[in-house]
Structure 1
Amino acid sequence: MRNASIFREHFLLHKWSYLLGSILLSISLILQLWVPMLLKEFTDGLQNESIKVSELWGLALWFTILGIGTFLFRSSGRIYIFRMSRILERDLRTQLFSHWEKMQAEYYQNQRIGNLMAHAVNDVNILRQVGMQGFFQMVEAAVLITIAVILMAGTINLYLTLLVLLPLPGLTYIAYRFRTKIQTHSLKVQEAIGTLTSRVQEFCAGISVIKTYVQEEEETLKFAKENKSNVEVNKQLIRSNSLFTSLSQGIIGLSYLLSIVVGSILVMKGTITLGDFVAFNTYLSMLIGPIENIGKVINLLQQGKAADYRIRHVLSTEPEIKDEERVLPLTFIKGNIKIKNLSFKYQLNKEYALRNINVSIPKGTSLAIVGKVGSGKSTLVNLLLRLYNPPKNTIYIDQHEIRDVPLKTLRSSIAYVPQDNFLFSETIKENIAFDPKSYQDEQIFHAARQAHIYDDIMDCPEQFSTELGERGLSLSGGQRQRVSIARALIKPSPIMIFDDSLSAVDSKTEANILRTLRTEMKSRTSIIISHRISTIQDADQIIVMDNGEIVERGTHLTLLKENGIYKKMYDQQTTELTLVQSKFPSIHERKILIKRRRG
């Protein structure tokens, strides 16, 4: 984990801006501390009946000048310091987001979305408050208390000043005693917020399943439990804060009591003047706010320390998938793929997901992969994309070990249609043109026509400018698949991967899309994963996977002759299609049955 605190690094980077803000704030405080001197002069003048009307106007002018000056310098200092805290907030969120982009897919499988959101929102906000209110109040307290105490002791009465300040070291002791407790409670609060956010996010994402299975009451009870836990840890923090604040105010009240009682006695004895008494208590009243703020700042610093620990823990987590130190200076690849003796298992699993996989895919040829769910098809694709790291010397791209190929070069050379057909909450046009390279409208329209989604898009309210809902759920499953295919087709990549990307479209649309894909795949290396034989039967080579192993390989015709798993799948699908055609002769009825079977 990083040793230096986040705020310390930020402060050192912007030290001159913080220094300027501190100087401007200090000037405003010095101007403010002149007010008790003017009050002393005014009070003594009234008591001695020696003040003149012209002097009153002069004092009024000075009060006005000091007020305006205090306002201008304080506002300027506040702007500089608060601006730096907003820069900290901006840079830290950017740093977090950039770091998350580098993390491997497995990292997110082991994280709750709510916790990640809590880091980016709540933890960052706390550190912003440290840089904003925390730093501002620390400077204010240090400057105001130091100068005010010097003026109180040097110009009014040293004995009274020492007596009044005597209880104040108790604040330091109380702060020390509460330091660990407040930090612990703050950490629990932030963790509770992350858990609660995760619960809400999971509820929103799974609302359809919750309603379908009539689990509203059960989910409400779960949320109530998490919400109660959140309230309890907040209560603990509030109790600690309240007790700390009350004790601090009690100490400050004792100092003020000593000032009133002892100061009054000194006035009656003639040791100090009434003006000195007024000025002294004005100084003390100015000190009360900053001294109280010391406790708040200490409290905030403990919360900041907990937030700082959580964020540093995230930023210190190194991505497992990154460019090797001696990565090759490759900017493009041709598309030759070779997999040699590949065996792979996930970190948390004991069993291998893939066993002894050997396959060669020359440039411009197509490989089809079939097999039941969990046979390792998607795992193989994820390794080719390096969403997970394959063992060394098992996957080669253009005769280069895949880890020697820069990640940017590798992934920009692959057009990928994932199984979940994820779309972003943006326009359809932006989803199709989701690539670092910019595309003309005609290129986007052409890709949509190739994916046979163009007519559907033109029926949308805003056509290609239609804003999609979260994850593209405003479109049907088949429409999402075809938009994802258009996104892959527009990308001029030497390798194309389709992971069960036609499962939600009808047979007629599938045939039209396949006709387009055959044209596109002539010049590209293609990998197609599908449960439908009709989708993959024209591939140059087909492999059948079962339990992480290749159990059959060949072309469509040779595999049919082997009378193995592939032949059984083909016979079963052919029989189902024949039954559907005989029982439901209309296309509409067939579509309904097929959807029911898939649902």
Structure 2
Amino acid sequence: MDTTGNATRKTSELIRRFAPYFKKYKWVLVLDLFCASLTTVCELVLPLIVRFITGKGMEDMASLTVQVILSVGALYLVLRIIDTVANYYMASVGHVMGARIETDMRRDLFGHLQRLSYNYYDHTKIGQIMARITSDLFDVTEFAHHCPEEFFIAGLKIAVSFAILGSIYMPLTLIIFAVLPLMLLAAMFFNKRMRRAFKRSRNQIGELNAQVEDSLLGVRVVKSFTNEELEKEKFREGNQGFLNIKKQMYRYMALFQSSTRLFDGLMYITVVVAGALFMIYGKITAADFMAYLLYVTTLLTSIRRIVEFTEQFQRGMTGIERFLEIMDAPVDIEDKPGARALGQVKGAIAFDHVSFHYVGEEEMVLKDIVLQVSPGENVALVGPSGGGKTTLCNLIPRFYDVTGGRVLIDGQDVRDVTLQSLRAQIGVVQQEVYLFAGSVYDNIAYGRPGASREDVIRAAKQAGAHEFITQLSQGYDTDVGERGVRLSGGQKQRISIARVFLKNPPVLILDEATSALDNESERLVQRSLEELAKGRTTFTIAHRLTTIRNATLILVLTEDGIAERGTHEELMARQGLYFELYSMYTEKERQGEAHF
């Protein structure tokens, strides 16, 4: 589900998908285009004024009085004042409209990202997502404002100029405007190639973002292995790749702009030569000839603006395309029509002939799992890596959906209840603790937004975290740093446990919650976990086998399914796979190297 493909969508499709974002601001847009028409009219009136004065002077100089000249000047001054006011609206309110549309798109994009399942994030780099939600949408602000405005002005100038010049002398007008289709064909040819280059550029900058994020988040590993030069070389390759794409993009842009300049010259020489010939044969006057030159200058100025806008247009199109690639990513896990709220849960969990494999892979991770867990039961999952322990637990809150069979909670299929009500009843303590930027208090309160300070402190005490929190520089208001970097592993884990205490769910999943801790931290955290598990249906993915001896049910999970099940005593007496694993673990533990 990687969203970095190079397929380019049609411009018409992108415009159609983007257009609804103008709906909220349609009257702002209408007024913006009205102001654009006023500025265009003001610009197109000048050649007519020049033609009028020139023609009147050549016909009868005596009729060209000071009063006539001042009246014409006053009229043009009024038009320029109107032009100034209209331009201010376009530059201020019009730009704000573009910024609002960008904000709306970013809101929708982030909302959709929140709905996407684990499967999407398994296949997509966060750096690519960050590029799309930030820099890609920056370009949309200018595009949303200028795109309708620039094309409206250009279209209006072409149409009005054609009407005015056609009324003067149609044959010369048709000769001049015959050059425009050639310019359009050249523009379409180069635009298509520029779009592809812009998209490759955006994809590459997303890859660079992902690489920088990976390197900086792992900076401690980089430094511990003295691999700074390796990281710089990796970055140099990515950065050079970005430069190569930009070179190609600017080559196409240069060809586009150069071809436009060629057509500029072609149109000018057409007016000069053809207009002079028609003037010699008496088809047009000198004043008409002057008007043609001025209107062609106006037309070419407008076309140059479109050329200059082309880069911005392509950036906007690319931003919209990459925005839609995420928005079109399917939400594969969501509430089914008619899903009902789960209500208060007792905690009975059942796996009814459950099978599972990941999207895009044929190999089954779980095969025909049958399991009944009573409320309040403590189930431990052990077995070799790749046996599906974490996957089995992830099916309970529907982080993934089963491929076959059913997962039931209190007799209800988890797919028949709303995700919010389901996940509200399940607490997860993971091996890799994630703390958000903010204070200790904020991170605990995340377990139940809106909880009172007393409830947060009570949860911290239950998790055995209150004592060390009060010893921090600012207590509960201490900033934890990015990803909790200012706290030890054991401290972060106890804060995450406090978060689950505050949530107070009837079902608990402990995913190797102590595997990354030292012995002292593990002892403290294990005590907190035992307190947390009291009275709750608990699934524990075991890292250190001595911590699950008191589990009411132990499952030995392998690639072939549940190989053994029973209590610790029953499995040890059976002397099967669990007996071998436990004996191997305890032997290593005696030797001080138990890392099963």
What is the SS of the residue equivalent to 1:490?
helix
What is the SS of the residue equivalent to 1:526?
strand
What is the SS of the residue equivalent to 1:33?
helix
Aligned to 1:585: none
Aligned to 2:99: 86
Q: CA RMSD in A?
A: 3.5
Q: How many Å apart are 1:170 and its aligned residue?
A: 1.9
- Answer yes or no: is the 8 Å Cα contact 1:115–1:195 preserved in 2: yes
Deviates further, 55-64 or 280-289 = 55-64
- Contiguous gaps of at least 5 residues in structure 2: 1-8
Amino acid at match of 1:116: I
Q: Distance in 2 between matches of 1:453 and 1:541?
A: 29
Q: Distance in 1 between matches of 2:285 and 2:362?
A: 85
Give the aligned length: 583
Q: How many Å apart are 1:513 and its aligned residue?
A: 4.4
Q: Distance in 1 between matches of 2:30 and 2:170?
A: 32
Cα shift readout 1:458-496 (whole Å, capped 9, x = no counterpart): 343443333333332332222221121111111021111
Name which of 127, 133, 141 aligns with 2:154: 141
- Answer yes or no: is the 8 Å Cα contact 1:392–1:403 preserved in 2: no
Cα shift readout 1:508-527 (whole Å, capped 9, x = no counterpart): 55445444444443332222
Q: Distance in 1 between matches of 2:480 and 2:228?
A: 27
Aligned to 1:236: 248
Q: TM-score, normalised by structure 2?
A: 0.86
Q: Distance in 2 between matches of 1:194 and 1:510?
A: 39
What is the SS of the residue equivalent to 2:405?
coil
Q: Distance in 2 between matches of 1:218 and 1:355?
A: 42
Q: Distance in 1 between matches of 2:50 and 2:546?
A: 94
Amino acid at match of 2:30: L
What is the SS of the residue equivalent to 1:168?
helix
5 Å-filtered alignment, 1:96-495, equals 96-154=109-167, 158=170, 160-260=172-272, 279-296=291-308, 305=317, 307-435=319-447, 437-495=449-507
Q: TM-score, normalised by structure 1?
A: 0.85
Aligned to 1:67: 80
- Answer yes or no: is the 8 Å Cα contact 2:386–2:559 preserved in 1: yes
Q: Percent identity?
A: 29
- Tell me whether 1:543 sits opposite 2:536 in the alignment: no
Q: How many Å apart are 1:130 and its aligned residue?
A: 3.5
What is the SS of the residue equivalent to 1:320?
coil
Q: How many Å apart are 1:54 and its aligned residue?
A: 5.9
Q: How many Å apart are 1:447 and its aligned residue?
A: 1.7
What is the SS of the residue equivalent to 2:353?
strand
- Answer yes or no: is the 8 Å Cα contact 1:122–1:190 preserved in 2: no
Cα 1:43–1:457 change in 2 (3 A) is farther
- Contiguous gaps of at least 5 residues in structure 1: 581-593
Q: How many Å apart are 1:140 and its aligned residue?
A: 1.0
Cα shift readout 1:162-196 (whole Å, capped 9, x = no counterpart): 44434333212212333433333333333333333
Q: Distance in 1 between matches of 2:184 and 2:531?
A: 77
Cα 1:362–1:273 change in 2 (3 A) is same
Name which of 38, 42, 54 aligns with 1:27: 38
Q: Distance in 2 between matches of 1:290 and 1:140?
A: 8
Q: How many Å apart are 1:407 and its aligned residue?
A: 1.4
Q: Distance in 2 between matches of 1:483 and 1:558?
A: 35
Q: Distance in 1 between matches of 2:233 and 2:525?
A: 47
Aligned to 1:18: 29
Q: How many Å apart are 1:416 and its aligned residue?
A: 0.8
Q: Distance in 2 between matches of 1:100 and 1:258?
A: 55
Cα 1:574–1:247 change in 2 (3 A) is closer
Cα shift readout 1:320-379 (whole Å, capped 9, x = no counterpart): 222233534434432111123333333444443234433322112222223343332211
Amino acid at match of 1:497: I
What is the SS of the residue equivalent to 1:394?
strand
Q: How many Å apart are 1:386 and its aligned residue?
A: 1.3
